[in-house]
Structure 1
Amino acid sequence: MKLEQILDKLGSIEKNSFIKIIDTIISNHPKHHKEIDKILSTSDKGLKSVDNQNIARIFSLTTDEFQEHVKSEFQEITSQLDILIDIIIRDGNCIMKQDWFSRLYEKEIKHIKSRIKGLNADFENDKSELSASRKRDYRVYKACLKTAYQNDLDNNRDAKITSDELSIMLTLSRQLGLSQEEVKLINYSIVPIKKMDIQEVIKGLKSIGVIFYSNKENTIYVADEMVRLLRKVREKEVAEKFYRRTLKILREPVINHIAREHNIDRKLSHAQKIEEIIKEGVSFTNLLSETIYKNENTLTEKKKTLNELCEKGLNIPNLKGGTLEDKISSLITHFENIERDEKVGISLDGFDKLLTELNQSLPKLNQQIKDQFELQDEFVLKADYLLDYNIKPRDILDLIVKKDLSKFIKDNGIKERGDDILNILEHYKDVENLYLENYENVAFRNLNALKENGITVKESELGLKFEELTKTIFSGLGLHVDDELKNKLNTKKDMMDILINLGNDEIIIVECKTSKERGYNKFSSVSRQLKSYQNVALKNNLRIVKILLVAPEFSDDFVTDCEMDTEMNLSLITASTLLKIYEAFKTSKHSEFPHVLFRDIVINEERILKALRK
């Protein structure tokens, strides 16, 4: 769930810790302080009176500083912050009831204690499967950590790992090729792990601003933006779902080699080994730069292997980058962009239909998804529910074994030749709703974004498509889009885009403008056009209640010119605002949108959304 959505759900007291941290960062003149000051200049009471949308914007401008703030908390070695962050950044754990979080925390402590026993036994057992070189790596790291920790005790101070010592330990763990789980086990074999009271755990996480806690709902919320930040703190380059997607296309001998390197039980099934590798926190970069290749592979051969892996396995053609490191970085960026994108690849209706038919064909899938993502609800195969957890159609399909995918494809008459997952996604695309979900991309004439989201369209068709989609939205708002009356009024010279008939000879005129450039800035030409439509309507004895101009965004100069115009009752509305109003209207009590809410020069999204939620 996005930060803005979570903030909308909470009261001021529940947001307080997070706001205080952002406030402290701002007071220390962060890197983007000029942009932040510009946002804050609209508020005379500081950050607390800024709306939630702008708080989310300010957080995005302070992520580097916030990341450093979280990192500094790791100096307290007994904080268990590594354990807690690893729980809350797992796919599916961004929304949790308190008792569910308590269970996951208890389960994690038991798991770590059990693994520590096993690791200690492997140290002492000459016949253990741990190689002599791996035992040496563990001993080196353990000895260095013990020295760093006991330095303070020897000097009669509280045991603490300083930021300098921490950076040295992180460098050492990377050089020794230790996974995060291996580091965690060695850390807690030096500092005995103790189960803390869950209320204290929540209070601690809340105080450093990484979670929100709703007292009313007894629920923990971790914003999608915060999950990405915390993943960087833990040096996990990609989300688990993308790591899984990559591991699934590797050959079994490669997976066995990775398991052997990180002390993972080789008796586990192939799928179980993949899950254990993910849990181990094995570096994604190290995996793709070293581990998956044979020792004798040249750099050219490695690059060729990685290109094939991306093109044939992950369907990512033309991976950018000249060096191996650049190519891996491009892949990580690709996964980050997919995760940030709010689009789901198919329409929301298509996703719901896919889940319904998956449940019919594969009745065990609901439990499998529930277990995989550690979800609390009994029935989880619901599109809205899964999207709150940032779980998309591809993430579900990635978990289904080949045999079950084939059965589902046959059961539902889906094309069988080619890539199974891509064929399924294409089958459930639902183009009309997919276009609506990409309404803003159409407005900005962003062909690349449309293509990435599964829409192929000619640039010359985008203007007409934007008009059609705008019509669909106004019809969806319960307003009468009257093409018949519009066609009667239109002349060869004056052709308005959309006419909304309110009855009693009252109308709203809507004009649609697409623009590649940021900030629509052609007031003089568009005002002549709109005044012309106004004259046509007035000659036909129609009362114009409002003229609306819909565009991707408006420049400051355009807004100023609009404010100075005294001849038209004109309001400006951005494509993103109109789409949000449409989404909010669908769950409101209204059967027809109250058009009187269109009363600002630039339509105030926040005010209208609040009015619709009442």
Structure 2
Amino acid sequence: MVRLLRKVRKKEVAEKFYRRTLKLLREPIINQIAKEHNIDRKLANSQKIEQIIKEGISFTNLLSSEIYKQGITLTEKKKTLNELCEKGLNIPNLKGSTLEDKINSLIEHFENVEKDEKVGISIDGFDKMLSELNQSLPKLNKDLKDQFELQDEYVMNADFLLDYNIKPRDILDLITKPELSKFIKDNGIKQRGDDILNILEHYKDVENLYLENYENVGYRNLNLLKENGISVKESELGLKFEELTKTIFKSLGFNVDDKFKNQLNTQKDMMDILLNLGNNEIIIAECKTIKEKGYNKFSTVSRQLKSYQSLALKNNLRIVKILLVAPEFSDDFIYDCEMDTEMNLSLLKASSLSKIFEAFKESKYQEFPHVLFRDIVINEERIIKALTK
């Protein structure tokens, strides 16, 4: 609806993207645009930028004629726009051979970014950034309310801002360079290079970013991971999925006992995760990543899990549950699992484990009640309902 109204008002891009582009221009160019539209050049640069936006100059006109020196050739205009996109907006290889095509490509890029729900840093990282911005720059809360016409009294909250499609970069674009410098110094953020990129990198919060992409790691989806700000080799994804699963189980209050697991493991039989419940009782968890849809290799994984079961029983341990964690399971795999009478095996989808983890954080429990792991395919809705009682 917002995008539709913008088109009715003949605005090609959101104000936040217009502002982002203007902030990349040198002050003499901003002054040139201000002079052309009778804007007071004695104003601060940030104020001139806001006035230019309010003036209603079309984004296409701005990039086709207003940001260039007088007498510049068409070839030089295209070169200038390419440099602005590559060095300033981090958009390599802007599509199009004509200036008009390149401008349309940039508008299309901004439209795609706006539709995209990715944040670029973790939600926890966003909240931490907002909290520390509020401490360093107490006026920012009011500036945000005024700029985005928000009604709530306090708006420096990640979930609230994301509901309005306001992302970390959009907040930082509103802050003047001196205030950004103050914030960077106050919070020990790297000072060399681009201020905004340094701030975003500082609050990336890699562990939480990985947890938010837990299912993508399980699916070995390198493209989505890269788009979400995670750089990882495909060969590392199996181990990373196991590490993230361990992190979630630890956060659920389980004793992830690597020391005991390593004592039990042999060169032939090496279980991924051992949850030590005490009194010689354990849960064994095995992690599997998949590239194609539907995990369907039951015979292979069954032999593997039965060997772990034998290993545990030889050491007089009671196996309370065996959990197989994967992004998803095929119907054939589920059927074979249901037919198996030798193992107390449950299938746990990565998305289900993530949802259970989120519900657990809001629950009264200090330790997850493992008796809830009782289905063949773990039903997260039933468990979440139990946790929220």
Check whether the contact 2:39–2:51 (CA below 8 A) recurs between aligned residues: no
For the residue of structure 2 that corresponds to 1:502, the secondary structure is: strand
Q: Which residue of 2 aligns with 1:400?
A: 175
1:129-176 per-position Cα deviation (integer Å, ceiling 9, x unaligned): xxxxxxxxxxxxxxxxxxxxxxxxxxxxxxxxxxxxxxxxxxxxxxxx
Instruction: Measure how far apart 1:492 and its partner are.
Output: 1.0
Q: Find 1:432's aligned residue among 207, 210, 215.
A: 207
Q: 1:574 aligns with which of 340, 345, 349?
A: 349
**Matches of 2:98 and 2:327 in 1, distance apart?**
38
Identity rate, percent: 81
Checking the alignment, whether the CA contact within 8 Å between 1:249 and 1:309 is kept in structure 2 is: yes
- After the TM superposition, which residues 134-145 of structure 1 pair with which residues of structure 2 at under 5 Å, given as runs? none
Deviations 1:506-565 (A, max 9, x none): 322211122233333333322221222222223333333322222223334433433443
Q: Check conservation: 2:269, 2:308, Cα contact below 8 A.
A: yes
C-alpha distance in 1 between matches for 2:378 and 2:55: 50
Partner deviation per Cα, 1:57-84 (whole Å, 9 max, x = no partner) = xxxxxxxxxxxxxxxxxxxxxxxxxxxx
| Closer, same or farther: CA 592–388 of 1 in aligned 2, 3 Å | farther
Structure 2 counterpart of 1:513? 288
Q: What residue is the counterpart of 1:105 in the other structure?
A: none
**Counterpart selection for 1:447 from 197, 222, 236:** 222
Which of residues 330, 337, 359 in structure 2 aligns to 1:562? 337
Superposed CA deviations along residues 30-78 of structure 1, whole A, max 9, x for unmatched, are xxxxxxxxxxxxxxxxxxxxxxxxxxxxxxxxxxxxxxxxxxxxxxxxx
Does 1:609 find its partner at 2:384? yes
Indicate the residue corresponding to 1:201 in structure 2.
Answer: none
Q: Distance in 1 between matches of 2:192 and 2:151?
A: 37
Deviation at 1:494, TM superposition (A): 1.1
Secondary structure, aligned partner of 1:488: helix
Match of 1:595 among 361, 370, 380: 370
Q: Is the 8 A contact 1:343 1:437 kept in 2?
A: no
Contact 1:551–1:574 at 8 Å: present in 2 too? yes
Partner SS, residue 547 of structure 1: strand
Q: 1:557 to 1:406 in 2, by over 3 A?
A: same
CA contact (8 A) 2:273 2:286 kept: yes
| Alpha-carbon distance in 2 for matches of 1:506, 1:229 | 60
Per the TM alignment, residue 496 of structure 1 is displaced from its structure 2 partner at its CA by: 0.9
* SS class of match (1:304): helix
Cα 1:598–1:239 change in 2 (3 A) is farther
User: How far has the Cα of 1:283 moved from its partner?
Assistant: 5.2
The structural deviation recorded for 1:329 is 5.4
Distance 1:332 1:514, change over 3 A: farther
After superposition, the C-alpha distances for 1:425-466 in whole angstroms (9 at most, x for unaligned) are 222333322222232232222334333444333322221111
Q: Which residue of 2 aligns with 1:318?
A: 93
Alignment of 1:238-387 (within 5 A): 238-251=13-26, 266-267=39-40, 269=43, 270-272=45-47, 274-275=49-50, 278=53, 284=59, 287-288=62-63, 292=67, 300-320=75-95, 327-328=102-103, 330-332=105-107, 334-336=109-111, 338-387=113-162
Q: Which structure dedicates a bigger proportion of its chain to helix?
A: 1
The equivalent position to 1:466 in structure 2, one of 241, 258, 271, is 241
How far apart are 1:401 and its partner, in Å? 0.5
Q: Greater CA deviation, 284-293 or 402-411?
A: 284-293
CA contact (8 A) 2:184 2:191 kept: yes
The answer on whether the counterparts of 1:440 and 1:552 sit within 8 Å (CA) in structure 2 is yes
* 2:134/2:140 contact within 8 Å kept: yes
CA distance in 1, matches of 2:290, 2:358: 23
User: Whole-Å Cα distance in 1 between the matches of residues 387 and 5 of structure 2?
Assistant: 34
Cα separation, partners in 2 of 1:536 and 1:327, compared to 1, 3 Å: farther
Q: Distance in 2 between matches of 1:491 and 1:337?
A: 51
1:318–1:599 CA distance, 2 compared to 1 (3 A): farther
CA distance change for structure 1 residues 287 and 411 in 2, over 3 Å: closer, same or farther? same
Amino acid at match of 1:486: K
Q: Secondary structure at the match of 1:546?
A: strand
Residues 266, 276 of structure 1: CA spacing in aligned structure 2 closer, same or farther, 3 A cutoff?
closer
TM-superposed CA distance for 1:605, in Å, is 3.3
Mapped partners of 1:601, 1:237: distance in 2? 52
Contact 1:477 1:582 in 2 (8 A): yes
- State the TM-score, normalizing by the size of structure 2: 0.84
**Structure 2 contact 359–388 (Cα < 8 Å) conserved:** yes
Which shifted more, 330-339 or 599-608?
330-339
Change (3 A) 1:247 1:603: farther
Tell me how far apart the structure 2 counterparts of residues 574 and 249 of structure 1 sit (CA, whole Å): 45
1:490 equivalenced with 2:262 (yes/no): no
2:358 aligned to 560, 583, 593, which one? 583
Separation (CA, whole Å) in 2 of partners of 1:273 and 1:451: 36
Partner Cα distance (2:9, 2:299) in 1: 53
2:269 alignment partner, SS class: coil
Q: Distance in 1 between matches of 2:22 and 2:99?
A: 18
Query: Which one of 278, 285, 297 corresponds to residue 503 of structure 1?
Result: 278
**Whole-angstrom distance in 2 between the partners of 1:592 and 1:234:** 54
SS in structure 2 opposite 1:494? coil
- Aligned partners of 1:593, 1:229: CA distance in 2, in Å? 47
The one-letter code sitting in structure 2 at the alignment partner of 1:464 is: L
Structure 2: which amino acid aligns with 1:506? E
Unaligned segments of structure 2, at least 5 residues: none
SS at 2:153's partner residue? coil
Letter of the 1:525 partner, please give it.
Answer: T
Aligned to 1:411: 186
Q: CA RMSD in A?
A: 3.3
Q: May I ask how many residue pairs the two structures share in their alignment?
A: 387
Aligned residue among 233, 240, 253 for 1:478: 253
Q: Is the 8 A contact 2:274 2:283 kept in 1?
A: yes
Rounded Cα–Cα distance in structure 1 between residues aligned with 2:309 and 2:299: 15
